[in-house]
Amino acid sequence: MAIPKTIQAEAGQLRQELNEHNYRYHVLDAPVITDQAYDKLFRRLQQLEQEYPELVSADSPTQRVGSEPASHFETVTHEVAMLSLDNAFDEEEMIAFDRRLRDKLDYQGQLAYCAEPKLDGLAVSLLYEGGELTRAATRGDGRSGENITANARTIASIPLRLLGEKVPDRIELRGEVYMEVEGFDALNQSQRQAGGKLFANPRNAAAGSLRLLDSRITASRPLTFCSYGIGLIEGVDLPPGQFQQMMYLREIGLPISRQIELLDSIDGCLDYYRRMLQQREQLAFDIDGVVFKLDDSELQRQAGFVSRAPRWAIAYKFPAQEVMTTLLDVDFQVGRTGALTPVARLEPVAVGGVMVSNATLHNMDEIERKDIRIGDVVIVRRAGDVIPEVVAPVVQQREGELPRPQMPERCPVCDSEVLQQPGQAAYRCMGGLVCAAQRKEAIKHFASRKAMDIEGLGDKLVEQMVEQGLIDSVADLYHLPQAQVAELPRMAEKSASNLLEALDQSKKTSLARFIYALGIREVGESTAESLAAYFGELEPLMDAGTETLQKVEDVGPVVADNIRHFFDQEKNRAIVEKLIAAGIHWPSIEVTQQAQTLEGKTYVISGTLEGLSRDQAASLLKARGARVSGSVSAKTSAVISGENPGSKVAKAEALGVEILDQAGFEALLGDDR
């Protein structure tokens, strides 16, 4: 039967594409498609060749493994070909594999299998002669590979000499060189610090490290090795089963998988697969599936091989963690602290068994470093419950000049200014009091004990009131309708009345507490106290330039910029004005630019002072250069004791530290207060 020209053309195109991808994966270590995409192309070519056997050619990717070895390494011919494995992608295919084997072997009972995780690294062959490692090679095209002996000798998990009394005269074994996730992360971190190339995943890092010409660099990389099979052996009779053979390799000093198991049936295989899938994210290394091998060596021999794979083994692949799709657009989400995060909007695609249409891009620096453009075909990765991320663009598939994502100048939520501080990757919305994305956190902070100290206004109640639409900003707190508050879950008339009373009491505060309550970025309690002590009132602070702000203790260029940008937002100022109009007030303090008469001194305040809160007293001391501490030590200059002092006075007496009463405190400040 003549083969349709369209089928011939499709098969030719598939062979060309697969050969190119094999070359990039096995020789260049720079794949441009994911495993899932490759498997799809490969299985289509297999289907065509099964339907039209005349299409099969010696150079078809279905008839060999990988591609030609790289020219800069000596070529090594494998004494026994390193074959690949057929794949299964669901339980039906696994059951069909078991059924085919039993039919082929005319075997009526349950078949036993040896199972182990499928490591995601680089397949290698190790040759030991007289117990000594004499050669290491990559798999290459399955028949010949690259001589990487010098590099393999640098890997600590590969023994240079075998151990024990059962060492064979010669043994060629197969295994995987890979990199654990922790080592991979550390390698990329050091590459980033050195301005070097970052690796996309542990598999690429392992392959690239193993195939370096300079073995000294390979020695510095966190590579490890795991044995999974034997090519040939001379001088020793092997045990009759795959599992016991792996135990023998461990006995003579070779590492094997800690997750290896002997299973008594295909049902055991399916259960093992489910367990490994659940454990996948807890393992120290990447795996992309599970390998099952018929345990009985004699039955393996009877089952035989097809052109590129043994009939008695199969790889049951996990759902893909990396897939390709199109980046449709980039949006920006505003977090609870005001940070803007770029989010990829994707052509929906299944990743790890879940449909994904959004993925993180981390920050603008990462977008620039990876050169991601809107309209690119991109590789998307999802591991377990981790948020999907865009790993990299497939530049080879980029058509024309595509637009680069741009950080918006205004917040997409509240239209406030968006700024990036020098030396920081994050861009932030400056509308802290008005931005809906930051609303809950802003209100929680405003009500907290060290800010306005609104008793009874906990985090859950804030969330309920925001979600019910009772408050849009902190200013709305002072206009809450008692009836609606009482209707909230776990609230009633009494609790609502108590909350409104607490809100009314919070109106009497200190300038330092109010400044801190506004939630200006990097303005903590100490800085707020310094600002209050320096400016004395809110208006001069709101209007101060960055140069003036930097004259205040604890205020540097970054904090000064944060303060200036916060008050430059008209919406923020409007909220502040509403708060003042609602009745928030504080005692006036005139302490601007006091002489630093107490510089170098440390004081502790205990008890209640007449006419001053503890915060106000501390501000007066700090304005004169003193340090105010919360604990007494031998280095304390004095303890200022008001009414009902605590244990700090007793400790001061025990240490011989001076104790000042209210009159002594006023004398300490001088007549200029």
Q: Which of 417, 479, 470, 485 is nearest to 439 (CA)?
A: 470
CA angle 44, 48, 49 (to 5 degrees): 115
Q: Please state, in angstroms and rounded to a whole number, the distance separating the CA atoms of residues 207 and 17.
A: 22
Q: Secondary structure of 182-240 in the HEC alphabet? A: HHHHHHHHHHHHCCCCCCCCHHHHHHHHHCCCCHHHHHCCCEEEEEEEEEEEECCCCCC
- For 285-441, strand residue ranges (E) read 287-294, 313-317, 322-334, 339-351, 354-360, 377-381, 389-393, 418-420, 427-429
Determine the Cα–Cα distance for residues 387 and 324; give it in Å rounded to an integer: 16
Helix, strand, coil percentages (3-state) for the chain, rounded to 5, are 40, 20, 40
Both tokens of 27, joined, read 């020789």
Contacts of 421 (CB under 8 A, 6+ apart): 428, 558, 561, 562
Contact status, residue 127 vs residue 135, Cβ threshold 8 Å = yes
Q: How far apart are CA 123 and CA 305, in angstroms?
A: 19
Copy the structure tokens of residue 418.
């968006």
Rounded Cα distance between 560 and 522, Å, is 10
d(CA 213, CA 216): 9
Q: Which of 225, 267, 259 is nearest to 243 (CA)?
A: 259
118 is catalytic: yes
| DSSP annotation string for 136-195 | EEE-TTSSEEEB-HHHHTT-TTS-SB--SS---SEEEEEEEEEE-HHHHHHHHHHHHHTT
CB 434 within 8 A of CB 425: no
Residues 6+ apart with CB under 8 A from 663: none
- Is residue 515 within 8 Å of 567, Cβ to Cβ? no
Q: What angle do CA 637, 643, 644 make, to 5 degrees?
A: 95
In DSSP terms, 523 is beta-bridged to: none
Q: Which of 5, 104, 118, 370 is catalytic?
A: 118
Buried b (16+ CB within 10 A) or exposed e, 426-440: bbbbbbbbbbebbbb
Rg, the chain, Cα only:
35
Which candidate, 469, 517, 529, 476, places its Cα nearest to that of 500?
A: 476
Give me the residue label for tokens 């034997």: 230
Residue 146 corresponds to which tokens in the numbers above? 């690259």
- Residues taking part in catalysis: 118
